[in-house]
Amino acid sequence: MTASDFKGYRGKALSTLKNFNAPVWSDVVIQTEKGKYKGIILPRSETADDEHIVIKMPIGYNIGVAVENITEIKINGRKEANYKIPEKEFPYDEGKPRVKLFGTGGTIASRLDYRTGAVIPAFSPGELYGSVPELADYCNLETEKLYGVFSENMGPEQWIGTAKAIGAEIEKGVDGIVIGHGTDVMHHTAAILSFMVQNSPVPIVMVGSQRSSDRPSSDAALNLIHAVKTAAESDIAEVMVCMFGPTSDIYGLLHRGTRVRKMHSSYRSTFRTIGDIPIAKVSRDEITPLRKDYKKRRKDKNVIVNPVFEEKVGIVYYYPNMKPDIIDSMIDNGYKGIVIAGTGLGHVNKPVYPALKRAQEKGVAVYMTVQTLWGYVQMYVYETGREMLDLGVVPCANMLPEVAYVKLGWALGQTSDLEKVKEIMLTPINGETTEREPSNGYLIYQGGLPEVEEFISKYRK
């Protein structure tokens, strides 16, 4: 028998299974000093201890049996989990728009393996139709799996590949693009795609889920429905993030790719537009624009794809008592660009200055953003700010730190001339910096205040 026959087991548990010739998926009766257990041996999580064997009992529950008590394992058969997803042909309707769904790794729709709890992604149009049949109300769907990586593993290679794939699809005349993506770094990808893919004639909609799609309460299906509707029907030809507006299953929001950020580790309504308002609201039935200044859908195919990225770029999140060695080590390691998330209006302490001076001398591009997320960098207000300007630190207005990071990588991917980099950085492409912050761009209501509570009691959160 091979290692995969004892998946996840090690040490004492592994030798017990081997002793009794009982690989995973065996239908067994385990005799112990305490009593008998009947069930199917399941694979074990690699991070779990080596003292227990996991079985699924006939009633569906799992338990772990301590190996030290096991006296015998009797094998009655074998029941291996089946990983196939049922497919139903996605209906074709000539009158409906053509939407392309790219997969990058997050699971938007999936089937659950009840034996192991493994989530098996549904991805082909047939599989998706099997689990979210409503999609056929909006479009003819095509799918293509670009990557199979966890959200946090998305990086320059995947960004470039995705940008190229989008360009190719637009060339082929698609009516809208949806990109399934893990949510953790969705806003990084949304920002870089906003720079790499410009002048798109069609909507490019990023979507994911905060509750996995194997759960009845998942936001995945509704998010996907909203995203597909947007790609198929909306006249907004921008890179957007489409995720829940409130935590209730009511509507989604379409956020501009350069101004959106994940703001809660687990809430459904985690994505928010920062320092501005979202582009539109989307429900199953309608798309309601919240602003007029978005780029409109066009009939042409004149998309500009510029897929470059300099990887030697990093973000430094300033904290009190930061030592210059942090920045020094980046310089020594050959970093070409550094984005600082400074305090308040964009500050770091004086002991860091010598490192900033060294960066300037070595030709490292240093940009300042604010860790407050809302508001502008303003380095003229205080003396310290002005000193940093002299050290070559470039303020990034109200660009979000993560957006500044991907934009700097993209700019340095095009040129190493720091003047040209500065020009690219400071010329807004699609709202990553704005000339003005509207008064409703910063709304974090404070719970506990009577007027806020009144509002919350009236509208479904």
Which residues in 242-271 contact other proteins (CB under 8 A)?
A: 246-250, 264-268
**DSSP string across 13-70:** HHHHHHHTT--TTEEEEEEESS-EEEEEEPP--TTS-SSEEEEE-TTS-EEEEEGGGE
Q: Pattern of binders to other proteins over 409-438, x per CB under 8 A? A: ------------------------------
How far apart are alpha carbons 281 and 284 in whole angstroms? 10
Active site includes 230? no
For the bound state, the minimum distance from the C-beta of residue 117 to other proteins, rounded and expressed in Å, comes to: 4
Residue 79 engages other proteins in binding (rule: CB under 8 A): no
Q: Which of 16, 104, 107, 189 is labelled catalytic?
A: 107
For the bound state, the minimum distance from the C-beta of residue 247 to other proteins, rounded and expressed in Å, comes to: 6
Residue 184 engages other proteins in binding (rule: CB under 8 A): no
Instruction: Report whether 224 contacts 107 (CB < 8 A).
Output: no
Q: What are phi and psi of 414, to 5 degrees?
A: -95, -35
Which residues in 9-38 contact other proteins (CB under 8 A)?
A: 34-37
Residue 86 engages other proteins in binding (rule: CB under 8 A): yes
Active site includes 183? yes
For the bound state, the minimum distance from the C-beta of residue 49 to other proteins, rounded and expressed in Å, comes to: 7
> Could you tell me which stretch among 149-157, 227-235, 355-363, 452-460 binds other proteins (CB under 8 A)?
452-460
Residue 131 engages other proteins in binding (rule: CB under 8 A): yes
Q: Tell me whether residue 266 or residue 321 sits nearer to other proteins (CB atom).
A: 266
Among 100, 115, 229, 261, binds other proteins (CB under 8 A): 115
Q: Is 313 helix (H, G, I), strand (E, B) or coil?
A: strand
How far apart are alpha carbons 411 and 426 in whole angstroms? 11
Residues 6+ apart with CB under 8 A from 363: 336, 418
Residues 6+ apart with CB under 8 A from 291: 277, 278, 279, 280
In the DSSP assignment, the letter for residue 367 is: E
Among 18, 96, 98, 211, binds other proteins (CB under 8 A): 211
Which residues in 283-322 contact other proteins (CB under 8 A)?
A: none
The structure tokens listed for 216 are: 């009845």
Q: Which of 184, 235, 249, 328 is labelled catalytic?
A: 184
Active site residues: 107, 183-184, 262
